[in-house]
Amino acid sequence: MDFNDTPAEAEFRAAARTFLEANATLTSGAPQRDETETEQIERAKAWQQLKQDNGWACLNWPTEYGGRGATPIELIIWNQEESRYDVPTGPFAIGLGMCGPTMIAYASEDQKREHLPRMAAGQDIWCQLFSEPAAGSDLAGLRTRAERDGDDWVINGQKIWTSGAQFSDWGILVTRTDPSVAKHKGLTFFFLNMHSPGIEVRPIKQISGGANFNEVYFTDVRIPDTQRLGEVGQGWGVSLTTLMNERLAVGNAGGADFPDLFELASKTDLDGEPAINNAAVREKLADWYCQASGLKFTNYRTISALSRGTTPGPENSITKIVSAVKMQDLGSFGLDLMDMGGILNDATLDPANLIFQQNFMGAPGYRIAGGTDEILRNIIAERVLGMPQDIRVDKNVPFSEVPTGNS
Amino acid sequence: MDFNDTPAEAEFRAAARTFLEANATLTSGAPQRDETETEQIERAKAWQQLKQDNGWACLNWPTEYGGRGATPIELIIWNQEESRYDVPTGPFAIGLGMCGPTMIAYASEDQKREHLPRMAAGQDIWCQLFSEPAAGSDLAGLRTRAERDGDDWVINGQKIWTSGAQFSDWGILVTRTDPSVAKHKGLTFFFLNMHSPGIEVRPIKQISGGANFNEVYFTDVRIPDTQRLGEVGQGWGVSLTTLMNERLAVGNAGGADFPDLFELASKTDLDGEPAINNAAVREKLADWYCQASGLKFTNYRTISALSRGTTPGPENSITKIVSAVKMQDLGSFGLDLMDMGGILNDATLDPANLIFQQNFMGAPGYRIAGGTDEILRNIIAERVLGMPQDIRVDKNVPFSEVPTGNS
Amino acid sequence: MNFEFSEEQDLLREQAQSFLNQHSPLDAVRAVLEGDQAYDAKLYAGMAELGWTATTIPEQYGGIGLGHLELCVIAEELGRSLAPTPFSSCIYLVSEALQLFGSDAQKQRYLPGLASGETIGAFALAEGPQPATAANLTSRVEGDALTGTKVPVADGDCANFAIVLAADADGGSLYLVDLDGPGVQRTTVETLDPTRSHASIEFSAAPAERLGEAGAGWLQTDRIFDRAAVLFAFEQVGGAHAALDMAKEYALGRFAFGRPIASFQAIKHKLADMYIAATLARSNCYYGAWALSTDAAELPVAAATARVSASQAFHECAKENIQTHGGMGFTWEFNCHLYYRRAKLLSVNLGSLPRWKNRLITNIETSNALSA
Amino acid sequence: MNFEFSEEQDLLREQAQSFLNQHSPLDAVRAVLEGDQAYDAKLYAGMAELGWTATTIPEQYGGIGLGHLELCVIAEELGRSLAPTPFSSCIYLVSEALQLFGSDAQKQRYLPGLASGETIGAFALAEGPQPATAANLTSRVEGDALTGTKVPVADGDCANFAIVLAADADGGSLYLVDLDGPGVQRTTVETLDPTRSHASIEFSAAPAERLGEAGAGWLQTDRIFDRAAVLFAFEQVGGAHAALDMAKEYALGRFAFGRPIASFQAIKHKLADMYIAATLARSNCYYGAWALSTDAAELPVAAATARVSASQAFHECAKENIQTHGGMGFTWEFNCHLYYRRAKLLSVNLGSLPRWKNRLITNIETSNALSA
């Protein structure tokens, strides 16, 4: 039992470091940036292109589509190393992590050769159009219609929670093509050009003040049938491929964590001494340390399995649920430590407390996005522990007859 | 807003005190008792008889059945006063609290005049035969069969969790008379003599070491049809009457509570000073104080409604769930304070820690008996907040076709 | 046993609900959230017109001299509606402080304006992101001049005067300071809950008049906070129930998997837990109301109990209301976050929850010592 | 990255499981619970025969000199099976203490017997229901004679010798005491977990030989407990998973309302939470195992993390396993309570959970100070 790379892994890591050192700046030494979204996208595209030119893009994709054919553990090593550098990878996360693998699995050979290398080189940005206002946890309850018209499909409806829709060139889309059959059976999957006529993108303001998501409206948007992925009516199966890749991607909620709170408690006065000396503060710190440590070493176990070339166990499925709740509670407690001043979010007064406010206002979203706490507990119970599904009243009923309530 | 009796209530309370002072000893001044169950039952019967002779038994029952026709608030005042005295009321709790009201609602006039005064005077002890091994939370899933044979019904099956079955003279019983109809529709309710041939009572040992419950086996036990309560097939409705009375009776789990933990923390050393000075200990104490206080004043609100002659709100439905969990956590923490010595349950070494061990080993039962935490949350959600029932797959199916699993 | 509000008080509650439904709908709260106004002046004038600001102020000082129970009723409804006004600063804190410790002249000068709603007062204690203590307080009065910075001060940007806890030669006392006078510079600060305005106030030798006994500032503040804690706790309980109601309505109407999400145990049990927290808090608040209205010796314990319980309940209900709403819950457009923000503000505004837990046990120790 | 047990260690685990399934079924645990035996002697002899007791003891002292990772594997399986033996006292505590601090003569005298399973050792620190500290310890060595009472001492009634922490002229040191020798009187005491025997031991001028440095007893105990904490944490994780498995099996087979209770969200989410707790604990235990097996500087932090996490997980899983079983769960006849009892014993046996949380932060502060 150790934390060391194998010789091959060490060699790969050294090569990655050499490239990164030559082409990027460590986060800790990076200048504070004040750039527009457009500027950030340009920087991201340049970085992605540079990586692709040097064989560091889409490591686990086949070489013929712009990847490197690397092993899963090599991908992890690359990500570990890249994450230490001040490089903008966010705009490509969904495209490369979810859209690409779906295209690899379902697109035609010509389509793959056309789109994947452009994606890998940062020339096109992709987004994923799945959730709808009335289909969140119950994703398969989606209502966006696709109707056949000659060689095209005509799309009408609304998607929501689409990250990056405003700057995406392409998207993957799941639609309902037959409401007269059961929910999961009437879905069909496509990819489409996001610059098509009839698409309108509107940002959604979150309670944290940010706008990381969009609503996307479709009015008579046409998609050629050649851009269908999978058979008509088989869209749910395609979606599961995508979601499986999402599941791998959804990780630690991040935000202020144990070290930040430890530091705050060390410098904040409580009853005449540093708050860190207070037994109640120490107990909470200990609980969060154990959670953070448990997640870290759970992740190490997953990586170890990949390093051995075996399939990781289901342990990592706990990451989001634990980290999102921790993010919320720890943030809230950080504000408590600052007492009456905990509500201040004026950075000129004390920048330190902003990270705890960001936890407090951001965590409610993390507890929901990518699967609510409740859905994740269902998944752990069903897929990890093998417990049965809840009773499903919508399973063998035509979709059009499933009760829908107000929404 | 005050805590005072009305003049009429004050008068009633004074009368109750006068009787109690003359006939009983305050708990605090009572001698330690070392008596057999039989001796305790004899003492309980004598006390019940004395109360009945003086008009203090079954206060809210009609006078013609041995009661006093008192108001609900008078019953509460009596219970408050009586609870301060060292008198054994336990053996009658179920009979007077649940069986009596059911008899009042469903028995014939002759039966009421025969049985209720004996019950009120402590001459007969009654028990309630409802739960079964495969019918706990799902009480209506019971399987004990009653088959008609001439003027009798013949009972076969098994009941469980029957308090006091070993010393009861009579019992109320719900059985299945028709498995070919839906679960709730095939039940029929009886009362029966517990000395009937074919009844076998076996105690159940709990994890706390005690045996407060029994299994009761029925082999061809005969009950005359005249002892049926309600119509054939209407037993569920009768059961609900009984359970409604149970719900009123299920209260605070009791056990070691805030004052006990406060005292333990005050006298136990932790890092060179009393544990009560430790901030983490104080936080936990504060949480439990707030819960205990919240329950106490919730109860006061219920009593106030009765005092005004109005129907209490649903607030008291939270009592058991909050107090049982508190009992468990507080007990566990008390043991923690005693550190390595927390496991000692040798009274000669330190009697104080026994009450925390009793919490620890007793609370698991309180979290289950009379409705599990989970069932109680269902009840609060459905009956207090008006949320819908879960999907019921057993509702419109003949009982004999409802899936049963291993149990 | 008469541990409930009276019929008259219930009538007052109905009137308050009806007024606030009309004049403080959540749209009005959002207008303050998103706008430049420190508070909803029209709403506050309406509240004053109904006599709410005058409730507990004696008639001789322009009030109507009702008891604190009536004020508790109003507080709960203000909390339920999230009314964006300086009511709590003026009435729970400043008016209470003046009534407890003011000279007759001081009461004459300030109470009528508070009663009529024409004057706004603020209570200034905090000095940045840490608990203020006698050891770390830097605001100081020398002679009659106050120098130092207080932040955040609730309603400090719209108030006409403030009660300030400042260090002085006697260790620390309360002072009355005219905020429109010389030596005062105020800046509105951004906070977690923009529906309630807060300021940073810099005092540079601002004229300050002592309120009550010299050197008693910390003890006075404790007494003021005990009283305000009960009133804020009613606001918190009102907010908790509003968040619970909002969650319930949404869960009943939102369908997933062909059924209302209110039929799933995960949601049902979540709401049951919210109900439990809100019910415990409400009952503890009643205890606080009784103690406040009768000036009972139990007030310090009752106030801390109410505050701890109500802070927990409001936070829990507001947090899980968002969760019940799923994706919609964390959009700016939905109102869930208004409760979440207010819950946090109210749980730190008199000092944070952990500090009040500690204070509760201290108060129990003290009262045990007294009764022993 | 190779943060998993090796194939050989996994093989050892399988062998251990198979042996314990056969020789330590829950019926055997119940036999000790309900009987008069201090432990299952036949089982312990079998474990010794497999070399488990000899695992980490060097060959020169009769052991087989394997690493601590192997011992962690065995500990997890012992925890899972609730094996009623003195293994933990002998191996996690006494053998570790002797290896860390014993003279060659002391090792020669005691380790071979521990390795062969013929000798039983106990570690005696507690003196009743409070945390033992340098200030409150009353057991004392004068000259070479120990006087005082230790209670509870795990396996104190069946042990041949004990390591005792006692006050002395140097402040407090560890001592080796022959329990079959003069001046020793032992009484079996009743505890919460009768599947593990505990004694009260009264020493009256019993001959005592110092183990290690004079006056270093408390620091030595910290070091011993850091190591034992990791091993006990593996027992706790084994127990947690066993309780989780038991709950899952029951929930799958038990039907209510026409469906397995495992299909109700209240039960599913409960078990998901148990799984989460057990998984976090397991990963932290692996960290502890790494630190223990490599004598890493991180051991104090890793050990406290593993212990806190594993104590929480075992308690949570054991408690909610009972709840999942409903009425059957709190009967003596079902085995749920065996885990519940053991969970509590293991969460206080090296000092309680709150004290280890405090210790964890202290260890982090120390290691930060060291690395700064």
Q: CA B117 to CA B95: how far, in whole Å?
A: 12
What band does A407 get if pLDDT is binned at 50, 70 and 90?
low
ipTM for the whole complex? 0.96
pLDDT tens-digit readout, C13-34: 999 999 999 999 999 999 999 9
- C92 CB-near residues (< 8 Å, 6+ apart): C75, C227, C228, C231, C232
With cut-offs at 50, 70 and 90, classify the pLDDT of residue B315. Answer: confident
Q: How confident is the model at residue C213 (pLDDT cuts 50, 70, 90)?
A: very high
H or E element at residue A295: helix A279-308
Determine whether the interchain pair C2/B386 forms a contact, defined as Cβ–Cβ distance below 8 Å: no
pLDDT at C136 over 80: yes
- Report CB contact under 8 Å: B322, C308: no
Q: Where are the beta strands (DSSP E) in C108-144?
A: 121-124, 140-142
Instruction: Using alpha carbons, select from C279, A331, A98 the residue that is nearest to residue B312.
Output: C279
The pLDDT, as a whole number, for residue A370 is 86
Closest CB to C3: pick one of B1, B318, B385.
B1
Distance CA B319, CA B323 (A): 6
Across the interface, do D266 and C265 touch by the CB < 8 Å criterion? yes
Please report the domains of chain A, with CATH numbers, ordered by start residue: 7-88 (no CATH), 128-244 (2.40.110.10), 251-384 (1.20.140.10)
Mark yes or no for CB contact A294/D281 under 8 Å.
Answer: yes
DSSP A227: G
Per-residue pLDDT band at A316 (split at 50, 70, 90):
confident
Q: Give the integer Cα–Cα distance in Å for B66 and B76.
A: 18
Contacts 24+ apart (CB under 8 A), A30-33: A30/A86
User: How many inter-chain contacts (A to D, CB under 8 Å) are there?
Assistant: 156
Q: How far apart are CA A233 and CA A230, in angstroms?
A: 8
Planar angle of CA B216, B221, B226, nearest 5 degrees: 115
- Which chain B residues contact residue C271 at CB under 8 A? 381, 385, 387
Element (H, E) at A270: strand A269-270
Residues from chain B that touch A282, judged by Cβ atoms under 8 A, are 280
Only one residue has tokens 């004074």, namely: B14
B391, B392, B394, B396: best to mutate for the A interface, most A CBs within 10 A: B391
Instruction: Give the span between the Cα atoms of C204 and C149, in whole angstroms.
Output: 9
Q: Is the predicted pLDDT of residue A251 greater than 90, yes or no?
A: no
Contact A152, A196 (CB under 8 A): no
From the list B246, B263, B273, B283, the catalytic residue is B246
Q: What are phi and psi of A281, to 5 degrees?
A: -65, -40
Nearest C-alpha of chain A: how many angstroms from C68? 25
Question: Scanning every residue of chain A, which has its alpha carbon at the shortest distance from the alpha carbon of C260?
Answer: A405
The single residue listed with the structure tokens 């620091």 is: D219
Phi, psi values for residue D329, rounded to 5° = -65, -30
Q: What is the pLDDT of residues C271-321, one digit of tens each?
A: 999 999 999 999 999 999 999 999 999 999 999 999 999 999 999 999 999
Q: C122-215, superfamily in CATH?
A: Butyryl-CoA Dehydrogenase, subunit A, domain 2 (2.40.110.10)
Asked if residue C275 lies in contact with residue B384, where contact means CB atoms within 8 angstroms, the answer is yes
Choose between C369 and B169: higher pLDDT. Answer: B169
Mutation pick from C283, C316, C367 vs chain B, by most beta carbons of B within 10 Å, is C283
What pLDDT is recorded for position B380?
Answer: 95
List where CATH 1.10.540.10 sits in chain C: 7-87
Greater confidence (B31 vs B59) lies with B59
pLDDT of amino acid B404: 87
CB-CB neighbors (< 8 A) of A298 in chain D = 279-280, 283
Choose among D86, D71, D110: nearest CA to D37. Answer: D86
Q: How many Å lie between the alpha carbon of D322 and the closest alpha carbon of chain B?
A: 7
DSSP run (H or E) holding D248: helix D217-253
**Residue B199 has which token pair?**
């009844």
Query: Tell me, what's the pLDDT at A29?
Result: 79
Residue B9 Cα to chain centre, angstroms: 26
Q: Which residues of D touch A9 (CB under 8 A)?
A: 1
| Token pair listed for A129 | 């159009």
Average pLDDT over residues A222-227: 98
pLDDT of D240 > 70? The answer is yes
Helix and strand element counts for chain D (H, E): 12, 9
- Interchain pair D266, C269: CB under 8 A: yes
CB-based contact, A252 to chain D, within 8 Å:
no
Answer whether residue A353 shows pLDDT above 80: no
Per CATH, the homologous superfamily of domain D7-87 is Acyl-CoA dehydrogenase/oxidase, N-terminal domain (1.10.540.10)
* CA dist D143 → C88, D146, D206, D211, D369 (Å): 71, 8, 11, 14, 39
Contact A257, A285 (CB under 8 A): no
Q: Which residues of A touch D275 (CB under 8 A)?
A: 318, 380, 384-385
> Are C189 and A141 in contact (CB < 8 Å)?
no
Cβ neighbours of C266 in D, within 8 Å = 265-266, 269
pLDDT value for C61 = 97
How many angstroms separate the CA atoms of A11 and A8, rounded? 5
Which tens digits make up the pLDDT trace of B73-87? 999 999 999 999 999
DSSP secondary structure code for residue A356 in this structure: H
User: In the predicted model, is pLDDT for residue B192 greater than 60?
Assistant: yes
Closest CA to D110 of D101, D123, D120, D100: D120
Using a 10 angstrom Cβ sphere, with 0-12 exposed, 13-18 middle and 19 or more buried, the burial of residue C365 is: middle
Give span(s): CATH 1.20.140.10, chain D: 218-371
Q: Where in chain D is the domain with CATH 2.40.110.10?
A: 122-215
Write the pLDDT tens digit of every residue in C335-346. 999 999 999 999
pLDDT at B30: 78
Q: Give me the residue from C284, C290, C294 closest to B294, CB to CB.
A: C284
Rounded distance, CA A68 to CA A52, Å? 9
Q: How confident is the model at residue B406 (pLDDT cuts 50, 70, 90)?
A: low
Distance from CA of D265 to the nearest CA of C (A): 6
Place of tokens 């939370």: B137
The C-alpha of C183 sits at a distance from chain B's nearest C-alpha, in angstroms, of 41
Q: Model confidence at B34, in pLDDT bands (50, 70, 90)?
A: confident
CATH architecture of D218-371: Up-down Bundle (1.20)
- Segment A16-41 shows an average pLDDT of 91
Between residues A192 and A242, the one the model is more confident about? A192
C269/D264 CB distance under 8 A: no
pLDDT, average across residues D135-145: 96
Cα(D43)–Cα(D53) distance, rounded to whole angstroms?
Answer: 12
Would you state the structure tokens that stand for residue A120, as one six-digit string?
């890998």
> Taking CA C232 as the corner, what is the angle to CA C227 and CA C235, rounded to the nearest 5 degrees?
145
Question: Could you give the residue numbers annotated as active site of A?
Answer: 246
Q: Specify which residues D345 forms β-bridges with.
A: none
pLDDT tier, A209 (very low <50, low <70, confident <90, very high otherwise): confident
SS3 D205: strand
Question: What is the interface size between B and C, counted as CB pairs within 8 Å?
Answer: 156
